[in-house]
Amino acid sequence: MKYSLFTILLLPAYAVGQTSLGYNLQRYAAPEGSMPAGLYQSNLDIEHTVSYAVRSNTALLDRILNDSAWAAVQGEATARNVVSGSFDNDNTIGQYIHYDGRRKTFGQLLAAGERSIAGRGTLYGMACYRNGNRRDVSLNYAVHPEDYAPYLVSDTLGASTFRQETYIVQAGYSRGVGPMEVGMDIYYEGVAQARTHDPRHSNYSHLMRLGLSAGQAWAHQAVSLRIAPEWNRQAISSTSMQDGVRYFDFYGFGLWNHRETQTAITYGRVQTLRGLMADAAWLYDGAWQWSANVGYHLRRMNTEEGSSYKNLFASTTHILRQQLHVSHRVDDWQVYMQLTAIQGWRRGEECVYEQQVQDAEQGLYDYVKVATNRLYTYKWMNGDVRVKVLHHISPKASIGLLAAVGYDHSKEGYKVPSMHIDIRTLRSTLAAEYKQHRGAAQLELLAYAGMQQGWDCRYSIVGVTNPIQTTMAFIPYQLRGENHQLMGGSIAWGYDLMQNCTLGLRLRADRLHSDYRKVNALSADLFVLF
């Protein structure tokens, strides 16, 4: 689901604008979750939204990057190859989302670039390695748990530290074929997650996405359509050396089933997710630049017990995304406006099995699915309006101001017993930036502040409150509907060592404060552009 605090904190910090430093770091940024980075994000560098739209629809990439008629869409930032190393740490004091962890510390190495060959197309690629810890994670074994919620699995032994290694490879190819533009892209993410103390836990997750796109570009307009099937498989296992350890099957609102194990018994679960993404884009380059994007995402999730090979839980998720972007330049002033909307709904299914005789003479029995109960629903929508003004105070310096407002509404429901969680919030953000390129040095400064206000939030759950229900239902309800203040900033500096080779450093800091928690996030990036 959409409420990753890590993403909320760091997306603004990634937002740096028109010089090549921020753009080249952001355009290949590895996503924090399973969703692609870039398009449909609540970013501050909305002057590059059209560039992100082009890169999300690979078919148009070669034509627009290399056709002088689309020079305005290419933007003032020069695309460069990048090698970077980064360190991220954020720490929460107070309440936190149980599957996200209280403290996250990660290091990352990334290399990315692109190459255009006249008459043969454009090829791009990215490889990323990330390693780190999530501390005080509880009641969840899954990677990207928001894709599988509420049907998670875990043990009863409380919060612990999970170590994660992530490998990401992304590549794409675009070229013209007759009057058409065609493209293909592939994305792979492999995650190895482990816990070193008893019960020993491991999860090996594989996510793959293959995109095929086609489009057509004219002098001032371009259209594109992209289809991308995806597949994710998580193989979860846990072995305990203790008697009586309980493993929980969660199914929403702090509700669970449990089973006990004996010494050295291994518990296993396989979770699979199959999906299909479809995105359509329209670009117009004139006195006013327009970009419209519409996307649909279908996901089907199943969970299978490792010992019985039965799908106990399943869910179907539908997501619609829309984004409209318009910009206009008058002399040294550039105005941008961006509207983004996302709607989603998820329906959960709980499968019922009955033990039936398969061979009475040999005493063979098996569990056969006899019913499916559709008891869980989750609906959400959010909208966002952003306006940004850039003023070029000199040929190599600019200042920018951004204002944004947003609305979020989510509603979870369970039929029997009847339970509901309803959350509404309003968001607002103000940001200011300054950029300059003087001699061999480049400098980018960003500062921002934001706030969230919740209202008419409702928590209606029957039954006796217990620690699991508090952790899985009530605390997330409080944090997602909280009133909080957010502030932060970043500084990026680069120096041209030689022609087409820049060494740079970026530092970021963010702080969130509410009645329930205080979150501090720090990050540093050392990079080379060439």
User: Tokens 């609305």 correspond to what residue?
Assistant: 407
Q: Could you give the percent of the chain with pLDDT greater than 90? A: 61
The stretch 153-163 carries a mean pLDDT of 85
pLDDT at 264 over 60: no
The domain of 280 spans: 2-529
pLDDT band at 197 (very low <50, low <70, confident <90, very high): confident
CB 479 within 8 A of CB 459: no
Burial 244-276 (b: 16+ CB within 10 A, else e): ebbbbbbbbbbbbeeeebeeebebbbbbbbebe
Tell me the average pLDDT across 146-166.
Answer: 90
Q: At 294, list the tokens.
A: 């519409």
With contact defined as beta carbons under 8 Å apart, do 49 and 495 qualify? no
In contact, 271 and 234? CB cutoff 8 Å: yes
User: What is the pLDDT averaged over residues 147-169?
Assistant: 90
The more confident residue out of 22 and 263 is 22
Instruction: Give residue 322's pLDDT.
Output: 95
Read off the pLDDT band of 12 (50, 70, 90): very low
Integer Cα distance of 388 and 18 in angstroms: 12
pLDDT-based confidence at 15, cuts 50/70/90? very low
Q: Higher pLDDT residue, 80 or 137?
A: 137
72 vs 447, higher pLDDT? 447
Q: Are 143 and 113 in contact (CB under 8 A)?
A: no
Q: Report whether pLDDT(3) > 70.
A: no
The one-letter amino acid code at 291 reads S
What pLDDT shows up at residue 199? 72
Mean pLDDT, range 392-418, rounded to an integer: 94
What is the separation, in whole angstroms, between the first and last Cα of the chain? 37
More confident residue, 258 or 480: 480
420-460 confidence digits (pLDDT tens): 999 999 999 999 999 998 889 999 999 999 999 998 899 99
State the DSSP string of 453-508.
Answer: EE-S-EEE--S---HHHIIIIIHHHHHHT--EEEEEEEEEEEEEEETTEEEEEEEE
Q: What is the mean pLDDT of residues 325-340?
A: 93
Identify the pLDDT of residue 10: 32
Residue 228 amino acid letter: A
pLDDT value of residue 201? 85
How far is Cα 237 from Cα 499, in angstroms, rounded to an integer?
A: 52
Length of the chain equals 530
Question: Is the pLDDT confidence value at 64 over 60?
Answer: yes
**Mean pLDDT within 47-54:** 83
Q: Count up the domains in the chain and report the number.
A: 1
Q: Give yes or no for residue 357 having a pLDDT over 70.
A: yes
Range with top average pLDDT, 12-21, 236-245, 284-293: 284-293
Q: Which of 301-310, 334-343, 399-408 has the lowest mean pLDDT?
A: 301-310
DSSP state letter for 147 = H
The answer to which of 47-56, 178-187, 272-281, 401-410 has the lowest mean pLDDT is 47-56
Residue 4: pLDDT band by 50, 70, 90 thresholds? very low
> What pLDDT does 236 receive?
92
Q: How confident is the model at residue 48 (pLDDT cuts 50, 70, 90)?
A: confident
- pLDDT above 80: residue 329: yes
Query: Using CA atoms, how far apart are residues 22 and 94, in angstroms rounded to an integer?
Result: 33
pLDDT in tens, 79-136: 689 999 999 999 999 999 999 999 999 999 999 998 988 888 999 999 999 999 999 9
The pLDDT tens digits of the residues spanning 225-249 come to: 999 999 999 999 888 776 667 788 8
| Mean pLDDT, the chain, integer | 87
- 213 neighbors 57 (Cβ within 8 angstroms): yes
pLDDT digits (tens, 9 = 90+) for 363-395: 677 778 888 899 999 999 999 999 999 999 998
